[in-house]
Structure 1
Amino acid sequence: MIQYECLHHVSLTVTNLEKAKHFYSNILCLKEIQRPNFDFPGAWYDIEGQQLHLIVLPTSQTIRHNKRLSSREGHFALRVKDYDATLNWLKSKDVEILEKPKSMSGFAQIFCADPDGNLIELNVEQTDL
């Protein structure tokens, strides 16, 4: 049997590192951390002890061609402290969002996408609204 300690990181491919870094640093407010000096470009971010790794690979087969927001496509989810504050922040930055405040999941969800169409869910327990 496998015993887990935690989710360590999620890796996403991107095509334009500067656009991606702007989104993750300035829109999602994640803290960039030191990354090993790999022979390919990318960036790493800390998310409360777990990590998000961006890898530049324009030929990636995981880049979504249809950038339409969908809660059913592959995504990663971040728990936020305040649904309304997060929603207002994203709207103030003109980020396209898909709101699901009464999702059957039990989470109040906000979906958005980075410049390459990687989907991100931001959520809180519905009782936290």
Structure 2
Amino acid sequence: MIEYLHHVSLAVTDLDRAKSFYRNVLCLNEIERPDFDFPGAWYQVGSQQLHLIVYPEASTLRGTGELTSKEGHFAFRVKSYEETLEWLKSTGVEIQENYYSKSGFAQIFVSDPDGNLIELNIER
């Protein structure tokens, strides 16, 4: 019986560039990571975690920063759609807004430097 989602792992190609995005754009706090034999970073996100793994050969790397809700992605629930939108615009990252999504969530899509898609949403 599954209890909850513990973490999501994403492949990245450049750890410094990825860490800058997750720290400076998404404002996540990095947590201690075991001393694996490959580079990466971990972040605490509520009671879940996000793990970055440097693996340039990963078949999950999209090779594009095109924003679309149809590709694999994960979603963060945010406190304020307007504040999140304003913040993201101030950072200069490309965004795709979908306030009136059929899902019932107001959505903003961004991608990290390696094209991993991230949805930021709030209940309408």
TM-score between the two structures when normalised by the length of structure 2:
0.98
Aligned residues: 124
Q: 2:76 is matched with which residue?
A: 78
Match of 1:88 among 80, 86, 89: 86
Percent identity over the alignment is: 65
Structure 2 residue aligned with 1:64, among 56, 62, 87?
62
1:1-129 aligned at under 5 Å gives the runs 3-126=1-124
How many angstroms apart in 2 are the aligned matches of 1:65 and 1:96? 16
- Alpha-carbon distance between aligned partners in 2 of 1:65 and 1:71, rounded to the nearest angstrom: 16
Distance in 2 of aligned mates of 1:95 and 1:124: 19
Q: How much has 1:67 moved relative to structure 2?
A: 2.1
Instruction: Give unpaired runs (5+ residues) of structure 1.
Output: none
Aligned partner of residue 6 in structure 1, secondary structure: coil
The answer to whether the 8 A contact 2:12-2:54 is kept is yes
Runs of 4+ residues over 6 Å off in structure 1: none
TM-score, structure 1 length as denominator? Answer: 0.95
**Alpha-carbon displacement from aligned partner over 1:5-51 (angstroms, at most 9, x marks no partner):** 21100000000000000000111001100000000000000000100
SS of the aligned residue for 1:37 comes to coil
AA in 1 matched with 2:21: F
